[in-house]
Chain A
Amino acid sequence: MAEIQAKDSGGKGGKPKAKKHSTKIDMTPMVDLGFLLLTFFVMTTTLAKPQTMEINMPVKAKDQEEQSQLKASNALTILMGENNKVFWYAGLPDAPAAPGVQVTDYSANGIRKVLLARRSNKDLMVLIKPMEKGTYKNMVDILDEMNITGIGKYAIIDVDPRDEELVKKVQ
Chain B
Amino acid sequence: MPKIKTHRAAPSLDMTPMVDLAFLLVTFFMLISQFQPEEVVTVTTPSSTSQIKIPESNVITLTVDKGGRVFFGVDGKNTKAELLDKMAAKYNVTFSEQERAKFANLPSFGVPITQLKSLLALPKEQLKKANQPGVPMDSLNNELGNWVHQTRMANPQTVIAIKGDEGADVPTIKKVIKTLQDYKVNRFNLITSQEGGPSSI
Residues of A within 8 A of B (CB): 1-2, 24, 27-28, 30-31, 34-35, 37-38, 41-42, 44-60, 80, 108, 112, 116, 130-141, 143-144, 147-149, 156, 158
Contact = CB atoms under 8 A, between A and B. Distances in A.
A130 B174 CA distance: 9
B9 interface: no
B166 A28 contact: no
20 contacts: A31-B18, A31-B19, A35-B22, A37-B26, A38-B26, A45-B33, A49-B53, A49-B56, A54-B187, A55-B190, A57-B177, A57-B187, A134-B169, A135-B167, A136-B166, A136-B167, A136-B169, A137-B46, A137-B166, A140-B48
Query: Which residue among A37, A44, A54, A137 has the maximum number of chain B CB atoms within 10 Å of its CB?
Result: A137
B46 A140 contact: yes
A46 B14 CA distance: 33
B201 to A, nearest CB: 6
Chain A contact residues, majority secondary structure: mixed
A56 B201 contact: no
B50 A45 contact: no
B33 A46 contact: yes
Contact of B170 (A47, A57, A58, A130): A130
Main DSSP-derived SS at the B contact region? mixed
Contacts of A54: 52, 187-189
A24 B22 CA distance: 20
B75 to A, nearest CB: 13
Nearest to A129: B170
Contacts, number: 160
Contacts of A149: 201
Closest 5 pairs (CB-CB, A-B): A41-B29, A45-B33, A34-B22, A52-B189, A136-B168
Interface stretch (B104-112, B113-121, B191-199): B191-199
Interface of B: 12, 14-16, 18-19, 22-23, 25-26, 29-30, 32-36, 45-54, 56, 64, 161, 163-171, 173-174, 177, 180-181, 184, 186-195, 197-198, 201
Contacts of A139: 170, 173
A80 to B, nearest CB: 8
B195 to A, nearest CB: 8
A159 to B, nearest CB: 9
B171 to A, nearest CB: 6
A54 B162 CA distance: 10
Contact of B177 (A37, A132, A135, A156): A156
A55 B194 CA distance: 17
Contacts of A140: 46-48, 164, 190, 192
Contacts of B52: 51-54
Given A31-B18, A51-B193, A132 B50 contact: no
Nearest to A59: B186
Contact of A52 (B26, B50, B173): B50
B26 A41 contact: yes
Nearest to B31: A41
Nearest to A156: B177
A136 B187 CA distance: 18
